[in-house]
Structure 1
Amino acid sequence: MWEQLKKLTVIIDNILMVFIIILFLMMFGITNLNVITRYFFNNPITFSVEMGRYCFVSIIFLGAIFTTKEDRHIQVDFFTGMFPEKFRCLVEQVGRLFMAIFFAIVTAYTCEMALANMNVKSSAMQIPMAVPYFIMAFGSAGICLESIVNMVLYQKGIKKKSRTIEEEEDALS
């Protein structure tokens, strides 16, 4: 069962990575094309700023899923590094729990916002505003899920403890 779950997560990760790459290329392409059309033809692309913004926000929320999976999100290593290892692990687990709760709340509210804005169109692209909200909800749900998975994996000892900044610097040198 673990092998099938690992294969599924690899497939999902690959799909997510391809989607992020496509979003990045779209953002990069439309922004550069807008610069060219504005500079050379004095005729900017009206929807480029809006599309770039939605792509950027989507990349951030979807990329945060990978960051959470690898347990590489921002944390205060200086503070937790002062404690003994067992207490540090407890503090990190509590942090993961708070993160899961926070992003579960964000998921609920962004889903609510998406449903409320199904008929509202964006100003330039005329797409339903539910699209960017659902991407935010998807990213938040992924972060919440990965936080819970990390809690379980650390608890069962499948994932090893995270290292402090000092330990990482020592490993690099």
Structure 2
Amino acid sequence: MNLLRRIRLFACLAMLAALIGVPALQIVMRGIFNVPMSGAEEMARYFLITLTMLGAAFVTQGGGQIRMEEIQVLLPDRIRFVLQVLIELCAVVLFALMAVASIDSIAKNLDNQTATLEMPYWLFMGPLTLGMAMLTLEHLLLLVETVRRGRASEKLTTLA
């Protein structure tokens, strides 16, 4: 699992570099050489989508998702435990459904492509499928951890 997380981190860093690099290159090409890059906007949008989909699981793994812990801490321990289990269970189901729906969408649109770059539809939708699958896995791990612990998470948000 650590290898998969490390690969995901480097992929996110590469997408961030590409997201910064493509518009910068577009500025140089247009401003200095007066030759705009065709498809730069679509390419930057693709890198943004990819970064967001792959990065979401990274944020979840790091505990950065909004959990409303300030409200949860006001609940009795047993109710808080049940609530955390239900939240993780709902997340697993939701992200798994999104992954399956994106696979279905790709399967139904194998002959389609994007307008400007003519990118195959499966390549354009691939980050959604991969991101949802990784979110499913991360939330499944959180669900298993919560159930094994047998009590609610003690983590509280601290505001500095």
Tell me whether the two structures share a fold, i.e. TM-score over 0.5.
Answer: yes
Distance 2:77 2:155 in 1: 10
Distance 1:48 1:121 in 2: 16
Evaluate the alpha carbon distance shift between residue 160 and residue 69 of structure 1 in structure 2; reply closer, same or farther with a 3 A threshold. farther
Evaluate the alpha carbon distance shift between residue 38 and residue 23 of structure 1 in structure 2; reply closer, same or farther with a 3 A threshold. same
Identify the residue that residue 43 of structure 1 maps to in structure 2.
35
Identify the residue that residue 128 of structure 2 maps to in structure 1.
136
The alignment yields a C-alpha RMSD, in angstroms, of 2.0
- CA positional deviation for 1:139: 0.6
Output the amino acid matched with 2:21.
G
- CA positional deviation for 1:91: 0.9
Cα deviation code 1:120-173 (max 9, x no counterpart): 1212222201112121011101101111111111221299814233xx34xx6x
Structure 1: 5+ residue runs without aligned partners?
A: 1-8
Contact 2:42–2:116 (CA under 8 A) maintained in structure 1: yes
Output the amino acid matched with 1:131.
L
Contact 1:24–1:59 (CA under 8 A) maintained in structure 2: yes
User: How many pairs does the alignment contain?
Assistant: 160
Does residue 124 (structure 1) correspond to residue 106 (structure 2)? The answer is: no
Instruction: Provide the secondary structure at the position in 2 that maps to 1:138.
Output: helix
Contact 1:117–1:128 (CA under 8 A) maintained in structure 2: no
Cα deviation code 1:43-93 (max 9, x no counterpart): 211111111111111111111111222332122234323212332222121
Structure 2: 5+ residue runs without aligned partners?
A: none
Distance 1:159 1:36 in 2: 56
Instruction: Provide the secondary structure at the position in 2 that maps to 1:41.
Output: coil
Contact 1:100–1:148 (CA under 8 A) maintained in structure 2: yes
Q: Which of 100, 105, 113 is matched with 1:108 structurally?
A: 100
Identify the residue that residue 26 of structure 1 maps to in structure 2.
18
So what's the TM-score if we normalise by structure 1?
A: 0.83
Distance 2:152 2:76 in 1: 16
Instruction: Provide the secondary structure at the position in 1 that maps to 2:80.
Output: helix
Identify the residue that residue 74 of structure 1 maps to in structure 2.
66
Contact 2:72–2:80 (CA under 8 A) maintained in structure 1: yes
Q: Which of structures 1 and 2 has the larger relative contact order (alpha carbons within 8 angstroms, sep 6+)? A: 2
Q: Which of 155, 159, 167 is matched with 2:147 structurally?
A: 155
Output the amino acid matched with 2:16.
F
- Runs of 4+ residues deviating >4 angstroms: none
Cα deviation code 1:9-64 (max 9, x no counterpart): 11111111111111111221111000122222332111111111111111111111
Give the percent of matched residue pairs that are identical in Structure 1 and Structure 2: 18
Identify the residue that residue 3 of structure 1 maps to in structure 2.
none
Instruction: Provide the secondary structure at the position in 1 that maps to 2:32.
Output: helix
